[in-house]
Chain A
Amino acid sequence: SAVISQKPSRDICQRGTSLTIQCQVDSQVTMMFWYRQQPGQSLTLIATANQGSEATYESGFVIDKFPISRPNLTFSTLTVSNMSPEDSSIYLCSVGYSGGAYEQFFGPGTRLTVL
């Protein structure tokens, strides 16, 4: 399985600011995804990070609020822009493969608190 790291592991931010979360994988992967887990809730898919092209966003999530980059097959970033307290969540990246293996592996998450 892939080893996934996220930075930062947690942060406390002021409303109106932005935070960029990094996701690094120890091997090349086909697919990378970003999820949000609001307090006491389940995981919701934000977007699929596509290498070299714009991310594919799920309903309810927009690029202006959650810009995503994926410059290569091992790295992606998610920015939470113009934050409000409602953005306080755990943000997780995950990786998967388009053929052969069917698992999806998750990073440790970034715990974000917005004051």
Chain B
Amino acid sequence: AQTVTQSQPEMSVQEAETVTLSCTYDTSESDYYLFWYKQPPSRQMILVIRQEAYKQQNATENRFSVNFQKAAKSFSLKISDSQLGDAAMYFCAYRSAGRNYGGSQGNLIFGKGTKLSVKP
């Protein structure tokens, strides 16, 4: 079974600085998708960025970018120019690209999350 590990329970960054959140995953599959979701104090789950495993190019969304290392099974999130509104729990998630109707494959598997604090 696939697993997702976020080894940093908490991180802190100064406003306007850059921070990197780590995520590793374990899978025997070659085709899958990776996601970072943000959960602010409102508890809403917000998609930050996604990466297709078949793409070598790292995904970027404005101030958010990933470092996807497929061989190392690593998927870190870099937040540049951190803002107070970035303070939240960040969850890394994996989704198999295979279809396995009836089972749980193909649905999101989440890490335990990293709580990011932004200092003014």
The judgment on whether A and B are partners is no
Chain A residues near B (Cβ < 8 Å)? none
